[in-house]
Amino acid sequence: MIKLLFIVAWRNFCRDKLTSFIQLTGLIIGIASFILIQLYVDHQKSYNTAFTDAKDIYRVNLIRGENKPQAQTPLRLAKELTQNFSEVEDATRISPASVSVKHLQAVYSERALYADANYLDFFDFLLIEGDVNTALDAPDSLILHYELAIKYFATTTGVIGKRLTINGKDHQVTGVIKKPSTPTTMPLTMILPMVNFYSQISRPEWIEAWNFNATRTYAKIRQPANINTLIQTVSDYYDTRAKGLSSFKTNRVTIQPLLDIYLDNTTTKSLTPPSSAVMVMVFSIISFMILLLACVNFTNLSTAAAMRRGKDVGVRKALGASKIQLITQYLSEAVMLSAIASLCALVLVFLCLPAFNQLMNAEISFNVSVAQSLQLLCLTLLVGVLAGSYPAFYLSNLSPAHVLKGLVSTSKSGILLRQSLIILQFAIAAFLLVASLVVNWQMQYIKNMEQGFDREGVIVVSHGDNTYNAFKSQTLRHPDVIAVTMSHTVPTKATRTSNTVRRLDDISNEIWVGNNPVSLDFFKTYGIKLVSGRVFSNAYVNDAYKENKDDWQSSTGKLVINQTLATTLGWSPEEAVGQLLTLGGGQDGLHNHQIIGVVEDSHYVNVKNTVPPMTYVLSAQPKDLSLRWTSIRFKAGTSLQSLKDVEQIWLGLAPDLAFKYDWVVDLFDSSYRNESQQTDLLNVFTLLAIVVTAIGLFGLAAFNTQRRVKEIAVRKILGASTGQLCFMLVNQFSSLVMIANVIALPLAYLLMRDWLDNFIYRINMPYSAFMLSAVFSLMIAYITVMVIAYRAATAKPVDSLHCE
């Protein structure tokens, strides 16, 4: 009996090849998309899950004033937590920094993590070599990730005891970390003992300072129930100690589960760029939508084909088949088809995964484990039953007397259902269309937005303060170099220091500002335009900023401010020039400085953050105000040779310091990497959703046209032109598509409005997207149906009448 079931199913599949092919293609695309998106979603959710204690580990973030939470905390916070809060079982710190690695005469720049000795207790990576318990104990110890071990020693075994010179200090490899199979927010690089980080801090007192944030603090907390109370008490503890040290009015902490870190894109200064929980949820929904679309295709075509199967039902019923037997027959056909589709989808997923990984810059692997096989089996059954149940119940309910007379096709409910399903499909497609248009345009907008600086042709190099003056004078001799400067921070990176400023006539009104200490030529190098006044210059001896800690009043230095600050202070750019501002406060005394110029606003970090009011002060020598970044502007279209020349100058002056540069353009782009990837993904799956919808419509149109072939012939004989017939056939779907748009577009409007509201800099709601979506979905419907309509309308009428 079961054999017969499959034989009949197979023969039915073969009988109407077009319908079966369409059903199958739709299902394959649907299931494959579903699997791919789910793999992506699982991957996104799996960050940090491999660590044994993952559930008990939390990251402590600071919320200072009105700022977003930041992961960067004071160095002493970990110690304070373990000593004063019994809930905290243990705490560890991680400070990233770029280091110069010298090996076999060559110098490389690496991003290193300075960590406490208990790092591996928290983040229990597997070691290929080395002892987990002692690997970070010695001050010269060094743990390498497998990739770095291969880079420097061409092997991952027998590396223990080998040496690397890092920032001029000899280190001995004590452990090699195996490549983790689950993604983590821990950068896979080299790990050095925390003590080495201390030696890099320019002022030793900062190590114990409450307002010097230089590390990420992680805590193990075993009683998650009390987390809110703990947040309160730690916040109060932190606030009483940090108050007055900085310009921030409030100092709070949040304690965030390690497992939530990756999908939290609000908190700044995470070790790895975060993803977006909203986007992951959106993709989850899209995957279900596409699967639903595919199921709808299946149901739609199956009920449409019911006319053909109707006679079969009649005969079977007349021969004594029970309803259950018929349902079993039709459901098993559906499940068989969905099983075939699942297998093809699996193959498709395997084939697409490399391209998908490239698109998403991810390492998603797809191993068919027992659990995954079971899931797939459930999915197959679900799809089969979901897609096949309506046709099965519908067919089995037919009265044999009716179907034998061929009266199935005129069933009103069947037509209504098919139309509703088409509406549903087009509503989903129209919704996704609007969403991707709006998302794409918004992303384009923020990427192309005026940043207030010219990001083309500028490289930044970390460090260089010791040799800066010689480097600058030598480099400027190079014909391709336009300008060289050093600064505390550079565009695309967050401002690291802040100030409080007040107008002399309104001393109580404190304004928090970001502060960027720079050397000469900073504005020239970054192309930041002067609005009024002048920029720092050698010609004026008093431009350089110097705080006198013994006599605050006698501090010297001029200020350049940005437009936002001028506006905040209530001055036009012209009025601001020449005015005095009062700086300082907290433990520092107050001191006045004159504004000499106002420059255009420029974005630091990126346009996901608003432009803060900014002051720029001049650092006479890079060391004075701890300038960190050397920036070099080249002529447009400079060659790689120029970069090599500059590197030679650099290495000639500082042989132990790697010349690791980044183009500001690349830094800028990478700050939007996650968004760009997710936009791409949204586009791909919107396209797929449209394809699946079009496939379904094609099938249904083919079926409908087949049903009306006689009518078409009659109309043709009565004088209808090909155009008139095509229009008639195509037009039957346009009202459905319009209804779909009417349903989908208001929903899309509400959701996109909320989404856009999340952006500080946003486009106005683009109503053209809604127009385009409506027009485009109609066009899709027209083109799809036109293919069939044209064939039918140009057929010889006599042939159609013959096949009566």
Partner 1 sequence: MIKCNQISRSFIGDEVETVAIDKMNLTINEGEFLSILGPSGCGKSTLLNVLGMLDSIDTGEFSFLEKPVDKYSEQQRARLRKQHIGFIFQNFNLIDELTVEQNIELPLYYHNVAKAERKRLVDAVLKRVDISHRRNHLPAKLSGGQQQRVAIARAIVTSPDLILADEPTGNLDSKNSTQVMALLQQLNQEGATIVMVTHAPEHVVYGTRVLELLDGKVINDHLVKEKLSNKENQSVVGADSLVTANTEQRTAEVTCD
Residues at the interface with partner 1 (CB under 8 A) = 710-711, 713-721, 724, 796-798, 801, 804
Residue 34 to residue 380: CA distance in whole angstroms: 12
Q: Where are the alpha helices (DSSP H) in 46-116?
A: 77-84
Residue number with CB closer to partner 1 (331 or 725): 725
Residue number with CB closer to partner 1 (549 or 802): 802
Tell me the DSSP string of 177-246: EPPPSS--SS-SSEEEETHHHHTT-SSGGGGG-SS-EEEEEEEEES-GGGHHHHHHHHHHHHHHHHTTTS
State the nearest-atom distance from the C-beta of 703 to partner 1, in Å: 16
State the nearest-atom distance from the C-beta of 405 to partner 1, in Å: 12
State the nearest-atom distance from the C-beta of 716 to partner 1, in Å: 8
Residue 31 to residue 376: CA distance in whole angstroms: 10
Q: Which amino acid does the sequence have at 638? A: T
85's tokens: 């809060």
Residue 104 to residue 156: CA distance in whole angstroms: 18
State the nearest-atom distance from the C-beta of 419 to partner 1, in Å: 15
478's tokens: 């190079």
Q: CA-based diameter of the chain, in Å?
A: 108
Please, are residues 309 and 395 in contact by the beta-carbon 8 Å criterion?
yes
Residue number with CB closer to partner 1 (179 or 710): 710
State the nearest-atom distance from the C-beta of 710 to partner 1, in Å: 7
Helix (H) / strand (E) element for 134: namely none
Residue number with CB closer to partner 1 (469 or 734): 734
State the nearest-atom distance from the C-beta of 307 to partner 1, in Å: 14
The radius of gyration of the chain's CA atoms, rounded to the nearest angstrom, is 34
Beta bridge partners of 502: 582
State the nearest-atom distance from the C-beta of 780 to partner 1, in Å: 26
Residue number with CB closer to partner 1 (401 or 779): 401
Residue number with CB closer to partner 1 (39 or 713): 713
Residue 436 to residue 629: CA distance in whole angstroms: 38
State the nearest-atom distance from the C-beta of 804 to partner 1, in Å: 6
In 3D, which of 166, 268, 256 has the Cα closest to residue 213? 268
In 3D, which of 613, 614, 585, 611 has the Cα closest to residue 246? 585
State the nearest-atom distance from the C-beta of 722 to partner 1, in Å: 8
Helix (H) / strand (E) element for 88: namely strand 88-103
Residue number with CB closer to partner 1 (358 or 413): 413
The neighbour count for residue 7, using CB atoms within 10 Å, is 10
Helix (H) / strand (E) element for 20: namely helix 17-45
Question: In sequence order, what are the residues at sequence separation of 6 or more whose Cβ sits closer than 8 angstroms to the Cβ of residue 42?
Answer: none
User: Beta strands of 580-655 (E only): which ranges?
Assistant: 580-583, 591-599, 614-618, 629-634
Q: Where are the alpha helices (DSSP H) in 361-505?
A: 370-396, 400-404, 412-448, 468-476
Residue number with CB closer to partner 1 (550 or 804): 804
Residue number with CB closer to partner 1 (204 or 719): 719
Query: What DSSP state is assigned to residue 54?
Result: G
Q: Which amino acid does the sequence have at 797? A: P
49's tokens: 């899950």
Residue number with CB closer to partner 1 (354 or 406): 406
Q: Which amino acid does the sequence have at 213? A: N
Residue number with CB closer to partner 1 (635 or 710): 710
Residue number with CB closer to partner 1 (30 or 797): 797
State the nearest-atom distance from the C-beta of 696 to partner 1, in Å: 23
Beta bridge partners of 532: 598
Residue number with CB closer to partner 1 (623 or 796): 796
State the nearest-atom distance from the C-beta of 327 to partner 1, in Å: 31
Residue number with CB closer to partner 1 (710 or 753): 710
Query: What DSSP state is assigned to residue 143?
Result: E
State the nearest-atom distance from the C-beta of 410 to partner 1, in Å: 8
Question: In sequence order, what are the residues at sequence separation of 6 or more whose Cβ sits closer than 8 angstroms to the Cβ of residue 97?
Answer: 111, 112, 114, 197, 200
Residue number with CB closer to partner 1 (640 or 718): 718
State the nearest-atom distance from the C-beta of 717 to partner 1, in Å: 5
Please, are residues 793 and 716 in contact by the beta-carbon 8 Å criterion?
yes
State the nearest-atom distance from the C-beta of 794 to partner 1, in Å: 8
Q: Residue-wise over 443-460: b if at least 16 C-beta within 10 A, else e?
A: beebbeeebbbbbebbbb
Q: Which amino acid does the sequence have at 795? A: A
What does each C-alpha distance from 726 to 171, 729, 734 come to in angstroms?
A: 78, 5, 13
Residue 239 to residue 255: CA distance in whole angstroms: 15
State the nearest-atom distance from the C-beta of 415 to partner 1, in Å: 11
State the nearest-atom distance from the C-beta of 715 to partner 1, in Å: 7
